[in-house]
Structure 1
Amino acid sequence: MMTDLPQVSLLPDENRTTLFVDVILPVSVPNLYTYRVPLELNELVKVGARIIVQFGKSRVLTAVIAKIHQTPPEKYPAKYLLELLDEHPMVTGHQLELFSWMADYYMCCIGEVLNAALPSGMKISSESHLQYNPDFDSSIPLSDTEHLLLETIKKKQSLSYEEAASLVGQKHLYKIVKSLIAKQAIIIIEEVKEKYKPKIVKKIRLLEIYEQRDNLQALFQILDKKPKQLNILLKYLQLVPVLSNPVVNKEGVDKSLLTQDDASASSLKTLIKNKIVEEFEIIVSRFEEGSPVENYQLKLTDTQRQAADEILQWFKTKDTVLLHGITGSGKTEIYIELIKQVLDSGSQVLYLLPEIALTTQMVNRLRKIFGDSMGIYHSKFSDNERVEIWKGVLNGQYSFVIGVRSAIFLPFDNLGLIVVDEEHETSYKQHDPAPRYNARDVALMVAKKQYGKVLLGSATPSFESYYHARTSKYGFVKLDKRFGEAQLPEIVLVDTRMERRMKKIKNNFSTVLIEELRQNMENRQQSILFQNRRGYAPYIACEECNWIAQCQNCAVSMTYHLHNHELRCHYCGHTEKSPAVCPACGSTKILTMGYGTEKIEDELQLLLPHSRLGRMDLDTTRKKNAYQQIIEAFEAGQTDVLIGTQMVSKGLDFERVSLVGIFDADRIINFPDFRSHERAFQLITQVSGRAGRRDKRGKVIIQTANAGQPLLQNVIDGNYTGLYEKEMHDRKKYNYPPFCRMIRLTVKHVQHTLAEKAAAVLAGRLLEKLGMNRVLGPESPVVNRIRNQYLKDIIIKLEKDNINLKAVKEMIRNEMQEVCTQKEFRQVTIVADVDPL
């Protein structure tokens, strides 16, 4: 383990300046920490550069310099920083300001913000692992120690930081690691399971000897009685003109082009064995390369042009504009037009999307226009890929980035425009760990700091954003016509209670829906089925004693997944095999209750045996390119019906989709939350908008046990404002957002009584300071135990005006700290969630 470096006297020396740096550590500590700068680094340290430091007895962390000064700390002796990682800052001044603001606003530590912002590939710590980089150029010279470490990493595939330290010796490790990173020999990863793998393409080329005509003719004679091998050779020669252009032969062709079936694969293997052709591998770019289409002309309709002009007019007086455009109205074309204008002016653009699934379709469209100047940033990329984008923004390679919520942390310094598409989506909110931020709201602050503009777009805006537009805080532009000749879909309500009474329901499918699906397939059209539950069944139960499989860590039932024949908790991830007999009474009558996407897929295959089905939910999209493969198969017409959770509702555009089926609408509508009607309207409207987006009018089948529900009539009529007015009346009456600010404090402990007692003490202290009208609770949430910890919620409501919000938050943090420092409650955790969703 690391030993402290000897402390040097801090007394001033007449011949030199002693510098200190205040740094942000990527850990949950409230204060910046001060380190001493070695004399030889005095001229090199810069604000925003990363350094390696020792924190505590044995932890090694990557910190970021926030301030350089000459004042030693008073409370503790300053340790030396161990290594400077950057010649130039990797974190900009704008980012440091943002991190500080987020820590204050979201009531967390600035280190937690830094930890969320930096890709793990930019953080070296005692928890890190070193992995060999397959892209490494082995001709680059290495020292003996570097060679030893690299060979060990290659042999073991990855090496923990501590293992590397013991191999090399702690004193020398930082410089060696830094050198190997600079030579692109190793990659830093946070978890061994997330190993970096380059994209490798297997290729085939004809041996150089057969580039001569005589030798090639002799080869034809040899293969004359081996037709399968001869066919492979002829196919290769069709693709590669060996005799007329031998240089092309060096590049070879993709192996996949020559192996269409098992027979050709076997013949190719024989040709390789007989040294007629050779197989080799090349590493290709992880990012698809593409140039913009020359003279690409974006043609806006008159309605779109008018909307774009209105937005630009609003930007003269407002920093934020809300574009309320119905599904299929062509909001994306307006975004593209504005993005082009901003890029042409020399500024940067960030385009935020709520889901990785959306980036797949959008990237394909935007590549044609912006080519390689556009970067893509989301969590399915490896650490190395995210670091590449980060550096690309810093050095100006990418002036335009499309990404999900974490892209808001990228080191932009000249943002002219941030587009927040589907701005109402809850996916923009991070729930765990801290910072519990909303990327939409952070975008407003980022743009403000850089004098940029924000365009919020949605067919169903959040009521908060719509309220700000109605009260003139935001500019407002409306698009209420679909693009081209497309019509809004016909929406049909199917009363499932009536169908069950008449015994028409077949495995959760109404006769209306199954007949429409069959007709749609016959017409060679595609369908989307939406059920906002993954898995096969929400829970299993014993028919005899009513036992229900509960998670051992959380107060929820476990979801049954048929594919793996297992029960899975969607809160903590605990899994176990599904029991064959009831563990309570021993009965074999165990039934699956309810249904999820997996069960719908299974049942539909039985009802329509010739249908080609696809499923898009969290279970089928865990791998990096899974979204893309599912979407491309659907786009290519290889899938008749796509079944999915809310992933299928968000901005996807498919030409042949003319039918959408929605299951279990009642559960969405009746969820116990003040936003449930808003969210139900948004979700049902968004998924309905996937139907009939071209010249054919689509149809939406909503299965419900309450066909008289007023909200469903609002959906049919497209009456957003009617629902908004009703909800605003109720929210104002009961003081809910947007008429107040909300903060939720969640008290957690493994003992229920202790969690309850700590929450009561905290609520009592807050009531004394804030009064009864501002503090609600403590109450148990819907799920009151997660990961073996019992939860208690306290809701704080603060008025929008005439209150010092920063001071109130500081007081709340102090009260949380006071409770946690009491001896009885030292193991209690209190989490603050500002603007909870």
Structure 2
Amino acid sequence: MESLFGDQYDNKDEKSNLFADIILPVPIPKMFTYKIPRNLAESIGIGFRVIVQFGKKKILTGIIGRVHQKPPTSYDAKPILDLLDNHATVNPIQIRFWAWMAEYYCCHIGEVMNAALPSGLKLSSESKIQLNPTFDPDTSPYPLDEREELLLQALANKEEMSYEDCEAVLGIKSIHGILKSLVIKEAIIVFEQVKEKYSPKVESRIRFSHEHVKDKKLLEALFNEIAGKPKQEEILLKYLQEVPVYKKPELNQKGLEKKVISDAGLSASSLKTLIKNGVLEEFKIIISRFEEEEGSNEEIVLSSEQEEAFQQIKKEFEDKNTVLLHGITGSGKTELYITLIKEVLAGGSQVLLLLPEIALTTHMVGRLRQVFGSSMGVYHSKYSDNERVEVWNGVLSGKLSFVVGVRSSIFLPFDSLGMVIIDEEHEPSYKQFDPAPRFQARDAGIMLSWLHQSKTLLGSATPSFETFHNAKTGKYGYVSLEKRFGEAQLPDYYLADILVDKKKNLLKLDFTRLMREKIQEALNNQEQVLIFQNRRGYAPYISCEDCGWIPECEHCDVSLTYHQFGEEMRCHYCGFKEKVPHACSACGSNKLSAVGLGTERIEESLSLLFPEARVARMDLDTTRSKYGYQRLLEDFGSGNVDILVGTQMITKGLDFDRVTVVGIMDADRILYFPDFRAGERAFQQITQVAGRAGRRDKKGSVIIQTRKPEQAIFGQIISGDYKSFYLQEMGERQRFFYPPFVKIIKITTRHKDYKTAEKSARYLHNLMGDIQVKKILLGPEKGLIGKIKNQYIFESIVKLDRTGNAQAHFKQELLHILEEMQAHKDFRGVRFVVDVDPY
């Protein structure tokens, strides 16, 4: 990686010899050097967005990473085409952060930039056509058909046309063949028109022209003039009703939104006449896409336990940059966060609060918005491109000093970050799997905080073992909060044995008698119920009762998940779907049945068992829309839903007064999973979802359905004995070399041909074996899912020693090996994916 902070040019008079190393949003291992045109030399700098040509046809948005006077030696530097802004869009700390992320996660800085910048800040190019000025149809040796002539006639009256314009002229959907023919005949030229994606929201407003508000008498005279023109008079009276310029003439400057007049049903032509005659003037302003809200600035009153924890956190920050707040569910971590945020903002610094899920963001934002109003920004993937750019610009301009967001918000242009708070730090949702960079937002957030020389607070009721290990070994500070806020008590736990109920014929629609009784009791008391199942869909799969046939995806080595809504089966890996078959494809039997439990099936079962209850479901399928989470949570919070069924979305952060019963449908499914973290994840998920019960003065109940109630982990969950569970698991991890005692890197090899995928995986594995560092090398093995999207998958796992520079050295050598392999003719079509900290 080239240095991102080279010497700035020494002699400002030598403007013609300036070059810029530019970060481009492409997977290449280095920055590209471009020549800075003389006219841009004074106004360009690190972090500025520029337009450059990459290759023969591509026009890309780049970010300047370095300015210098050294021309490239291996190619002629092309000139920068244009400068997009008169200010830096990215600051130097961000560029350092991108460089660290590229190095640590074994990817390219261009891939980091592509993930970091909102789409609205990246240019889009649109193909257009124009007449070739040298083309003469009378002398051309090429004959034209009817459609080609029609298109050229249309172009004769226009400077340029888009592909869509051409399709409209010819009345056909695909015009590529015709355009290709005209290019060959040298009749047209195809070019790329570059345009900005982001467009600010503009509002049309009206106001009295200046001379009419100088004196009240002039306004009175105006009304005398338009007497007998009732439509114009209505408009002026409406304006004065909304904008009382008689009392406060200065209000006229801001004017009135034009659509207020149209919404009131007043005459558009009369308004046009008033503007034309100079009585009113029309103007446009750029407005925010977010509603302006005033914060209440409410005083947060901490309990004695919270106050003690708050003082402890501040004390720990004196010696440590990172502190773990280990607070049980319902202990009031949010109030502590608010108090800390207010203190940091009062000191003039910025704050980032990271949350793992959009669902959690939606719920917490309402609480925080009451306190901080519009000075707080929200950033997540459900926002449109334009909305995300507005948040970006709000941070850049200093308008937003506090942001709540999911993992992508670590890329925002903070310049004076005082604190990063990472709530539910144990959550696997913080890990980005595809595309690159495959980063862990918790770890990246800690690094971002370090670059800003600020503090990081990690909050969780069930910390990840890595974080707890760092706290126990003194790397992080540690503060615990072991009592629920207010009068709330921890819930009672019940283990419901599925097999016992099945033998006694007490299991109904997958619900044990105990679970049914507790749900009915809550409904009788007009209380609410949460039901957790770690799977969406109706059932995991459909199976033939006669021969055991199971429908599988055509492109992946997985069974298709049955979704009753729409009567279809879907692959959750590639999106392939097909209608549910009426008969078995193997034996022809029509005895097809759904096997296993999904959220959709549980929702249906609950409606049958409790017909009087209002049941809703929260999973990926029901929350795809922008406000899907919000609507469901509002319905549940307002009491319009009695029972909410959900996946892990409901396990964290939700705080509802009337929830007294939490049911976990199949705890064994979480526990028995081929992953070294299975026990840790089971403890976390069950504890988190149990924490939703009885969060006020009424004690809650948690029912765990299992086939093995004697498992030790259930006793540890019920007693809340996180520490003994941690010690037990850590002993296993140390014995078998798992994090936090080693660093894991997974290298995946993919190709459409099985033998090529296997050969390249073995070749790479052997080369990695030659890297001289202390390590354990496992594989290559066929992936747990051996084929996804018609690509065969092989995996190698590397366990690296955490001491010394073993990790850095191995990563450098690995990238060299991959570059050489991809340049080799036998491996050019193979895709290699490096995932650091994959689990």
- Taking structure 2 as the reference length, the TM-score comes to 0.82
In the alignment, is residue 287 of structure 1 matched against residue 290 of structure 2? yes
Sort the Cα spacing of 1:409 and 1:794 in 2 relative to 1 into closer, same or farther, 3 A.
Answer: same
- Map 1:330-345 to 2 at 5 A: 330-345=332-347
- Map 1:229-628 to 2 at 5 A: 245=241, 286-293=289-296, 296-628=298-630
Q: Which segment is superposed worse, 394-403 or 51-60?
A: 51-60
Counterpart of 2:64, as a letter, is I
CA distance in 1, matches of 2:714, 2:566: 36
CA distance in 2, matches of 1:301, 1:468: 28
Corresponding residue of 2:151: none
Unaligned runs of 5+ in 2: 1-10, 129-156, 205-222, 224-229, 231-236, 245-254, 272-284
CA distance in 2, matches of 1:172, 1:300: 60
Kept in 1, the 8 Å contact 2:201–2:286? The answer is no
Counterpart of 1:81, as a letter, is I
CA distance in 1, matches of 2:580, 2:286: 43
Question: What per-residue deviation string (whole Å, max 9, x for no partner) do you get for residues 188-238 of structure 1?
Answer: 7xxxxxxx99999xxxxxxxxxxx9xxxxxx9xxxxxxxxxxxxxxxxxxx
CA distance in 2, matches of 1:825, 1:128: 33
Corresponding residue of 2:808: 806
CA distance in 1, matches of 2:700, 2:765: 52
CA distance in 2, matches of 1:46, 1:173: 25
Kept in 2, the 8 Å contact 1:761–1:819? The answer is no
Sort the Cα spacing of 1:521 and 1:251 in 2 relative to 1 into closer, same or farther, 3 A.
Answer: farther
Counterpart of 2:383, as a letter, is F
Sort the Cα spacing of 1:579 and 1:273 in 2 relative to 1 into closer, same or farther, 3 A.
Answer: farther
Kept in 2, the 8 Å contact 1:149–1:168? The answer is no
Kept in 2, the 8 Å contact 1:199–1:286? The answer is no
Corresponding residue of 2:636: 634
Corresponding residue of 2:25: 26
Sort the Cα spacing of 1:772 and 1:753 in 2 relative to 1 into closer, same or farther, 3 A.
Answer: farther
Sort the Cα spacing of 1:619 and 1:821 in 2 relative to 1 into closer, same or farther, 3 A.
Answer: same
Corresponding residue of 2:226: none
The offset of 1:661, in angstroms, is: 0.5
Kept in 2, the 8 Å contact 1:59–1:125? The answer is no
CA distance in 1, matches of 2:592, 2:544: 4
The offset of 1:817, in angstroms, is: 2.5
Counterpart of 2:50, as a letter, is I
Q: Which segment is superposed worse, 607-616 or 622-631?
A: 607-616
Counterpart of 1:317, as a letter, is D
CA distance in 1, matches of 2:492, 2:291: 39
CA distance in 1, matches of 2:115, 2:756: 31
CA distance in 2, matches of 1:197, 1:504: 60
Corresponding residue of 2:678: 676
CA distance in 2, matches of 1:168, 1:656: 69
Counterpart of 2:25, as a letter, is P
Question: What per-residue deviation string (whole Å, max 9, x for no partner) do you get for residues 740-787 of structure 1?
Answer: 111111111112222111111111111122479521111223212111
Counterpart of 1:292, as a letter, is G
CA distance in 2, matches of 1:371, 1:147: 47
Sort the Cα spacing of 1:61 and 1:168 in 2 relative to 1 into closer, same or farther, 3 A.
Answer: farther
Sort the Cα spacing of 1:637 and 1:15 in 2 relative to 1 into closer, same or farther, 3 A.
Answer: closer
The offset of 1:91, in angstroms, is: 0.6
CA distance in 1, matches of 2:672, 2:684: 14
Corresponding residue of 1:701: 703
Unaligned runs of 5+ in 1: 1-11, 130-143, 189-195, 201-211, 213-218, 220-240, 256-268
Corresponding residue of 2:135: none
Question: What per-residue deviation string (whole Å, max 9, x for no partner) do you get for residues 422-467 of structure 1?
Answer: 0000000100000000010011111111110000000000000000
Corresponding residue of 1:710: 712
CA distance in 1, matches of 2:630, 2:647: 16
Corresponding residue of 1:230: none
The offset of 1:13, in angstroms, is: 14
The offset of 1:681, in angstroms, is: 0.3
CA distance in 1, matches of 2:786, 2:818: 20
In the alignment, is residue 830 of structure 1 matched against residue 829 of structure 2? no
Counterpart of 2:53, as a letter, is Q
CA distance in 2, matches of 1:834, 1:779: 18
Counterpart of 1:658, as a letter, is T
The offset of 1:16, in angstroms, is: 5.2
CA distance in 1, matches of 2:30, 2:413: 23
Corresponding residue of 2:111: 112
Kept in 1, the 8 Å contact 2:583–2:591? The answer is yes
- Map 1:39-58 to 2 at 5 A: 39-58=38-57
Sort the Cα spacing of 1:711 and 1:199 in 2 relative to 1 into closer, same or farther, 3 A.
Answer: farther
Corresponding residue of 1:223: none
Sort the Cα spacing of 1:485 and 1:245 in 2 relative to 1 into closer, same or farther, 3 A.
Answer: same
- Map 1:183-222 to 2 at 5 A: 187=198
Larger Rg: 2
Sort the Cα spacing of 1:244 and 1:88 in 2 relative to 1 into closer, same or farther, 3 A.
Answer: closer
Q: How many residues align?
A: 734
Question: What per-residue deviation string (whole Å, max 9, x for no partner) do you get for residues 154-211 of structure 1?
Answer: x99xx99x99xx999888944xx3xxx5xxxx747xxxxxxx99999xxxxxxxxxxx
CA distance in 2, matches of 1:197, 1:829: 42
CA distance in 2, matches of 1:146, 1:330: 64
Counterpart of 2:61, as a letter, is T
CA distance in 1, matches of 2:46, 2:655: 45
Question: What per-residue deviation string (whole Å, max 9, x for no partner) do you get for residues 712-751 of structure 1?
Answer: 1111111101110011101111111101111111111112
Name the SS for the 2:399 alignment partner.
coil
Q: Which segment is superposed worse, 284-293 or 691-700?
A: 284-293
Question: What per-residue deviation string (whole Å, max 9, x for no partner) do you get for residues 459-480 of structure 1?
Answer: 0000000000000000000011
Counterpart of 1:550, as a letter, is E
Counterpart of 2:365, as a letter, is V
Name the SS for the 2:835 alignment partner.
strand
CA distance in 1, matches of 2:648, 2:600: 14
Kept in 2, the 8 Å contact 1:198–1:286? The answer is no
CA distance in 2, matches of 1:92, 1:438: 22
Counterpart of 2:741, as a letter, is F
Corresponding residue of 2:34: 35
Sort the Cα spacing of 1:400 and 1:145 in 2 relative to 1 into closer, same or farther, 3 A.
Answer: farther
Kept in 2, the 8 Å contact 1:199–1:285? The answer is no
Kept in 1, the 8 Å contact 2:801–2:807? The answer is no
Kept in 1, the 8 Å contact 2:773–2:810? The answer is no
CA distance in 2, matches of 1:36, 1:711: 63
Sort the Cα spacing of 1:445 and 1:146 in 2 relative to 1 into closer, same or farther, 3 A.
Answer: farther
Counterpart of 1:299, as a letter, is V
How large is the Cα RMSD of the aligned pairs?
Answer: 3.5
Counterpart of 1:87, as a letter, is N
Name the SS for the 1:674 alignment partner.
coil
CA distance in 2, matches of 1:727, 1:494: 25
Corresponding residue of 1:722: 724
Counterpart of 1:624, as a letter, is K
Kept in 2, the 8 Å contact 1:304–1:334? The answer is yes
Name the SS for the 2:419 alignment partner.
strand
Name the SS for the 1:658 alignment partner.
strand
Counterpart of 2:423, as a letter, is D
CA distance in 2, matches of 1:701, 1:128: 60
- Map 1:93-108 to 2 at 5 A: 93-108=92-107
Name the SS for the 1:784 alignment partner.
strand
Name the SS for the 1:315 alignment partner.
helix
CA distance in 2, matches of 1:64, 1:15: 22
Extract structure 1 runs of 4+ deviating beyond 4 A.
12-16, 144-153, 166-172, 196-200, 241-248, 250-255, 271-275, 282-285, 770-773
